[in-house]
């Protein structure tokens, strides 16, 4: 038989259970103001009181409208919903964030209340995502940290375990995909394959988009968003203002603005690029958005993935390596550097945020161009000052 004890100064009453442990019972009011009873079991009175304090703290949060059982995806989604409604984040960024959250939602920690997640749980989760690419892992890790930060700010958790030195972003077990430009020989073979290609009847032809990317360095989303007003062939300038993006539910839409704020730019039209722009304008068909490039067969905007599939087939036909359609942009940049165009000019043409981005991406190409730099210096000094013969003692 359990022995009863009287109420104590802490507010509840104890009794000793048959197994020797203490059962501590209290009366409280729930979030609706209704009287309820709650029991705690511990080895000592102090242990029972500690459980009571934690319970009452949780009750205060619930009464204040805080969902103490929120999961990481729920907290982060709520944040992005709010930011999207206030125009702090665009449709493209919102959609990408929700796609990243799906990875967390499928995991064990995505289904657990944040308050129940331990460092051991997090360690197992971080180990489980190493099969993704580094870029995906970094996005997932950032969302997890965001979830814990929100939970801490709301008072759901008292300690943010993601601030521990052991909770570092894991590395992928896969090698980062290499995106590089074509060599001169590969570019010649690729251009020849494009020129010889004839699209079957009832199929779209993306040759002109690929030529424009190859000779302008524009992103494919930017090319597919071009209108006749963006191309000034009298001044030989392309005004890059928009891009085709994927939004909620993978819906294609025209984003007023480019990938980065620096992406909104003017690009000079070279002599080799001009004929392709002229042809594109001449072949343009009427469409609801006034776009130069439009899928009139399916009556929809053209996505980058559509062109990418065609690009892969052309690479195979040309017998060149396939590094992703973005490789044409790298090919353009490589040819520019080989032609002696400065990094400052290339930065503006490519729409990079800062010159360090340009230097980092194409470091190997810039290094390669420095091999004969000392010969150029000798040539320049000799031309200015005459041949200098060092005196020999």
Domains and CATH numbers, the chain: 3-63 (3.30.160), 72-163 (1.10.150.130), 184-329 (1.10.443.10)
Query: Vertex 348, ends 302 and 271: CA angle to 5°?
Result: 70
Tokens of 291: 């776009």
Q: Where are the alpha helices (DSSP H) in the chain?
A: 45-63, 72-85, 91-105, 119-128, 134-153, 184-196, 207-216, 220-224, 274-283, 304-318, 327-338, 343-350, 355-361, 363-369, 373-385
The pLDDT value given to residue 366: 74
pLDDT in tens, 149-190: 999 998 888 899 999 988 999 999 988 776 678 889 999 999
* Collapsed DSSP state (helix, strand, coil) of residue 235: coil
d(CA 90, CA 92): 5
The pLDDT value given to residue 233: 94
Query: 246 forms bridges with which residues in the sheet?
Result: 252
Phi then psi for residue 185, to 5 deg, are -65, -40
The pLDDT value given to residue 1: 46
CB atoms within 10 A of CB 121: 15
pLDDT in tens, 123-148: 999 999 999 999 999 999 999 999 99
CA 240 from chain centre, in angstroms, equals: 22
DSSP state letter for 287: -
The pLDDT value given to residue 260: 58
- Give the residues of the chain that fall short of pLDDT 50: 1, 7
């Amino acid at each position: 038989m359990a022995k009863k004890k009287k109420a104590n100064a802490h507010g509840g009453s104890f009794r000793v259970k048959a197994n020797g442990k203490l059962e501590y019972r209290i009366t409280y009011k729930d979030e609706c103001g209704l009287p309820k009873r709650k029991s705690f079991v511990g080895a000592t009175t102090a242990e029972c009181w500690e459980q009571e304090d934690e319970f009452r703290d949780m009750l205060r949060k619930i009464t204040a409208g805080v969902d103490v059982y929120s999961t990481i995806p729920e907290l982060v989604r709520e944040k992005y919903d709010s930011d999207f409604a206030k125009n702090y984040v665009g449709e493209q960024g919102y959609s990408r964030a929700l796609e990243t959250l799906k990875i967390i939602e499928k995991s064990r920690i995505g289904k657990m209340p944040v308050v129940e997640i331990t460092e051991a749980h997090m360690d197992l989760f971080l180990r489980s995502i190493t099969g993704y690419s580094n870029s995906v892992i970094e996005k997932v890790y950032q969302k997890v940290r965001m979830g814990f930060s929100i939970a801490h700010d709301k008072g759901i958790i008292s300690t943010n375990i993601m601030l521990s030195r052991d909770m570092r972003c894991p590395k992928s077990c896969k090698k980062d995909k290499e995106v590089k430009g074509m060599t001169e020989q590969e570019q010649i073979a690729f251009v020849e394959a494009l020129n010889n290609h004839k699209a079957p009847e009832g199929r779209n032809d993306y040759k002109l988009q690929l030529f424009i990317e190859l000779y302008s360095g524009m992103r494919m989303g930017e090319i597919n968003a071009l209108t006749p007003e963006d191309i000034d062939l009298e001044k030989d300038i392309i005004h890059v203002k928009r891009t085709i993006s994927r939004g909620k539910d993978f819906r294609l839409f025209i984003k007023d603005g480019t990938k980065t704020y620096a992406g909104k730019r003017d690009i000079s039209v070279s002599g080799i690029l001009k004929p392709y722009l002229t042809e594109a304008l001449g072949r343009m068909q009427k469409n609801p958005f006034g776009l130069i490039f439009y899928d009139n067969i399916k009556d929809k905007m053209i996505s980058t993935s559509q062109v990418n599939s065609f690009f892969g087939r052309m690479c195979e036909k040309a017998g060149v390596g396939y590094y992703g359609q973005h490789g044409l942009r790298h090919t353009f940049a490589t040819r520019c550097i080989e032609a002696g165009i400065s990094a400052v000019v290339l930065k503006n043409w490519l729409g990079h945020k800062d010159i360090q981005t340009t230097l980092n991406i194409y470091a190997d190409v810039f290094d390669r161009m420095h091999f004969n730099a000392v010969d150029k210096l000798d040539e320049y000094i000799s031309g200015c000052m005459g041949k200098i013969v060092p005196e020999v003692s």
